[in-house]
Amino acid sequence: MPIRAARAKRQALQGIKVLDMTWIGPGPFCATLLGDLGADIIKIHEPDPERRGGLIKYALSNDPAFPGIRNCRVIGLDLKAKDGRAIFYELAKAADVVMESYRPGVTKRLEIDYKTIRKINPGIVYASITGYGQEGPYRDLPGHDINYTSIGGLLGLTGESGGAPVIPGTLVADFAAGGMAAAIGILSALMARVETGKGQFVDVSMTDGIVELMSLWINSYLAYGAEHKRGETIFTGHWPWYNVYETKDGKYISIAAFEPWFYTNLCQLLGRNDFIEHQFTEGEKRAEIFQYFKKTFLAKSRDEWVEILRQKDTCVAPVYSIDELVSDPQLTARGMIKQIPHPVLGSVRQVGSMIKLSGSPFQVRNWCLRFGQHTDEILHEIGYDAKRINLLRKAGVIG
């Protein structure tokens, strides 16, 4: 059911049609980014909702927590069936983008790969999102987020010095190195198409993305041979002025007084002007400053320290739990936590869009609510009548 916003403005990607064959991880995140910008996202799932361990059925169960189910439409389609592929080809003729996250070679076997689709639509932008990319010795290996952060070096650098690697608190490979990278690649290819009139293949490797996110440390190794160890880099715990401290109430506070003037303010507010000249001092002095900071921050609650340290510029922030951040006034003011109209639940609180465009504000136009919800609607748009749709449904080609 579409949701009509009052005085809705034209959205940035309005008129762009995306065929999305992804269902977990990076693909839905990318689809959400593009859909929130106005693209018409058509999610293509298998006609049997019990396939893939019931994942499709779960995803379309009115659960607004599942990623990639807002600002999209959904069609059940058997791509292994000749009639199913015929429908896909018809959809592809009018599409701008195709997204898939199968292992390399699967789309070729299904006859829906880039080479096939570009013959039907030379302007198509075809994005393949995989763990390791379309070539190389690992291309056929299965994997998940933690595997890609491992090979890309992120996991090995995350955690305390001398301790075990710590799994990041979100899916960095899936969402940033995969979904966000795919969105950037797709939008870049669409811009290039304006000049050339031709689409192109977008090869997204989540491992590649992690490696680029780690470029600060990798490039310094390549240039100078600098070896960075877990918990011992400038941004991962080596210095007392860029660190996390426990407070009296068992909560935590983050300090990032990197610039000398921020560090000066921090020392002054903590009553230790004598530390100012020792910001980058190693050895016993660094250990002394660490010990003082740890002891001092335990003397007051987290929120008391935030109030004290915000008297001057010190780069301080509370370490939030999820239940705390959803009530933060800054996030509310920015529309990152907001009430969104929902056709069944009335409204739901959800994360908004991180992309703020002055002339094309974020809005939710529709939701995927159930298995095969938009199948008939989408088929009608490409010329299928009710009789033909019923025959295809009986044959199991659509759902």
Q: What SS3 state is found at 255? A: strand
Answer yes or no: do 167 and 62 share one domain: yes
Check whether residue 174 and residue 269 sit in a common domain: no
- Please check whether residues 30 and 142 belong to one and the same domain: yes
Residues of the chain with pLDDT under 70: 1-8, 49, 51-68
Structural domain total, the chain: 2
Percentage of the chain beyond pLDDT 90 is 86
Nearest in space to 74 (alpha carbons), one of 47, 113, 96: 47
Give the angle 203-206-207 at the CA atoms, nearest 5°: 110
In a domain, 219, yes or no: no
Does some domain include residue 3? no
Residue-level pLDDT at 279 = 98
Q: Where are the beta strands (DSSP E) in the chain?
A: 17-20, 40-45, 72-76, 97-100, 125-130, 201-205, 242-246, 252-256, 316-318, 337-342, 346-351
* Same domain, yes or no: 181 and 267: no
Residues 184-222: tens digit of each pLDDT? 999 999 999 999 999 999 999 999 999 999 999 999 999
Q: Kindly state whether residues 77 and 198 are assigned to the same domain.
A: yes
Do 165 and 37 fall into the same domain?
A: yes
Whether 381 is covered by a domain: the verdict is yes
Distance CA 375, CA 48 (A): 13
Q: Residue 186: which residues within 8 A CB-CB, separation 6 or more?
A: 30, 34, 97, 99, 125, 127, 202
Q: Domain with 163 in it: what CATH number? A: 3.40.50.10540
Same domain, 158 and 256: no
Same domain, 68 and 162: yes
Does 385 qualify as catalytic in the annotation?
no
- Residues 283 and 368 both lie in one domain: no
66 and 208 share one domain = yes
Sequence-distant (6+) residues with CB within 8 A of 184 are: none
Please say whether the beta carbons of 398 and 77 come within 8 A. yes
Query: Which structural domain, as residue segments, surrounds residue 50?
Result: 17-213+332-394
Choice among 48, 144, 278, 328 that is catalytic: 144
Same domain, 258 and 311: yes
Domain end marker among 290, 318, 346: 318
pTM above 0.95, yes or no: no
Residue 224 included in any domain? no
- Per annotation, catalytic residue among 36, 40, 174, 208: 174
- Tell whether 237 is covered by a domain: no
* Residue 296: CATH number of its domain: 3.30.1540
Does the residue 312 lie in any domain?
yes
Question: Do 84 and 113 belong together in one domain?
Answer: yes
Residue 2: its pLDDT value, please? 47
Total Cβ atoms within 10 A of residue 139: 15
Active-site residue, 203 included: no
Establish if 233 belongs to a structural domain.
no
Place of tokens 């610039």: 259
pLDDT of residue 23: 83
Residue 98's CB is within 10 A of a number of other CB atoms, namely: 30
